[in-house]
Amino acid sequence: MPVRCALAAGLAAAAIAHAPAHAARPVQPPLTELTRSYDFVLVAEAEARKGENRISFRRVEKLFADGEPMVTVRMDDDTRADVELGENYIVAYTTVTNDAQFRDHKYLDPEGPKLLDVRGFGAPALFEATPALRFLFQTARAAEPPPDRAVLDALLAQMARPDHRSRSLVIMEFYLRPKLQAMISEADQKIVRDTIADSGLHTELTSFLLEVALKCPTPGKATWLAAAYLDVIASSGAQYDLTTYVPGLVETAVKGLRIVGERADAQRLTPLLLSNAPGVATAALKTMDALDPEGTPEVVQQVLEQSVWDDSVNSEVRRVLESYDFEHTVAGAAADPG
């Protein structure tokens, strides 16, 4: 049974690690973060439920560090409920915890082994035991790393599977490894494209893949990417729940459209000029300017006039529009993704 992914809203940054973690620590790909010297990664069979939030596992194969032949691991209720006894899983766990005062100091956790997390997603490190994931964990800290192409093939093979928890792992790994992005072929691009189109993919992951796809060196990407960006913009509206990542997704789409869009796309962004998310409104204005520098000043003027008595307009958004330089001409704005 695929393991459900209970993703937490409001990812603060594209960073993965244990939870809790020091905010200033450099961002590392998740396979690096989940294979630290005090962590264990096993293929293990789920044997029994123990108490309210524990499951005992029997080691089948060592992927990183030895671990115990039998280990009882703490986890959240949703993950525990998803586990099928008798099935094999890749289990990443730790036996230490952080000191409350000294962040770099760790000590043996008195509550016992605990499942690791993919930080920000609330996605516990319990994955289906596929050959692709086995390979990725086995080679994560190998003395002689495997060829990048082999790693990319494994990431894409797992990305194409319906296991949502492991998708968060491999998408973030892909996102944080630019060298792999530069190797994407047209055949690879189809997997990325199909994953973006999956309506069940979480908002953050969609945003990360839309950003990565723009950097991939594949020919002909502009057409489908522009369509994907426009679909996100049209389906998300202009007023958002600001506690979610939807504004971030829309902003990614608007910035991407600045690179691959056409002049006719500029008018589709007009509703975003009065978004309740200032970042979206600002990005929309810049993209409209880049795609249609001649027509945008008139549109902005109309929006300002129509909203002059509208108290619901975000004050920061209004300042963005009012500070617009109506006399300027945009030179090279299409090349500026900021």
pLDDT per residue as tens digits for the range 146-177: 999 999 999 999 999 988 888 989 999 999 99
Separation of alpha carbons 26 and 80, rounded Å = 31
Task: Place 267 in a pLDDT band, splitting at 50, 70 and 90.
Answer: very high
Closest residue by Cα to residue 287 from 255, 328, 250 = 255
State both tokens at 120. Answer: 């920000």
State both tokens at 18. Answer: 């244990």
Separation of alpha carbons 291 and 333, rounded Å = 8
- Higher pLDDT: 8 or 311? It is 311
Torsion-angle region of residue 10: left (phi > 0), alpha (psi -120 to 50) or beta? left
- Asked whether the CA dihedral 103, 104, 108, 113 is positive or negative, the reply is positive
Task: Place 127 in a pLDDT band, splitting at 50, 70 and 90.
Answer: very high
Q: What is the mean pLDDT of residues 176-199?
A: 93
Q: What are phi and psi of 119, to 5 degrees?
A: -55, 140
pLDDT digit string, tens, across residues 72-121:
999 999 899 999 999 999 999 999 987 766 667 788 889 999 999 866 45
Contact between 226 and 255 under an 8 Å Cβ cutoff? The reply is no
Contact between 169 and 93 under an 8 Å Cβ cutoff? The reply is no
Q: What percent of the chain has pLDDT over 70?
A: 86
Q: What is the mean pLDDT of residues 244-268?
A: 97
Helix (H, G, I), strand (E, B) or coil at 303: helix
What's the chain's average pLDDT?
A: 86
Q: How many CB atoms lie within 10 A of CB 130?
A: 16
Contact between 138 and 64 under an 8 Å Cβ cutoff? The reply is yes
Strand ranges (E), the chain: 39-50, 54-64, 70-74, 88-94, 96-98, 106-108, 114-115, 117-118, 123-124, 126-128
Q: What is the mean pLDDT of residues 46-69?
A: 92
Chain centre to alpha carbon of residue 115: 20
Task: Place 218 in a pLDDT band, splitting at 50, 70 and 90.
Answer: confident
pLDDT at 164: 83
Contact between 173 and 31 under an 8 Å Cβ cutoff? The reply is yes
Separation of alpha carbons 250 and 242, rounded Å = 12
Q: What percent of the chain has pLDDT over 90?
A: 64
Task: Place 4 in a pLDDT band, splitting at 50, 70 and 90.
Answer: very low
Q: How crowded is the C-beta side of 57, counted as CA atoms within 13 Å?
A: 31
Separation of alpha carbons 32 and 231, rounded Å = 34
Rounded (5°) CA angle 78-81-82 = 90
Q: What is the mean pLDDT of residues 65-70?
A: 89
pLDDT at 173: 93
- Higher pLDDT: 52 or 62? It is 62
State both tokens at 223. Answer: 């057409």
Task: Place 220 in a pLDDT band, splitting at 50, 70 and 90.
Answer: confident
- Higher pLDDT: 257 or 324? It is 257
User: Which H helix or E strand runs over 297?
Assistant: helix 296-306
pLDDT digit string, tens, across residues 221-253:
999 999 999 999 999 999 999 999 999 999 999
Separation of alpha carbons 256 and 145, rounded Å = 33
pLDDT digit string, tens, across residues 34-55:
888 889 999 999 999 998 899 9
pLDDT at 250: 98
pTM for this structure? 0.82
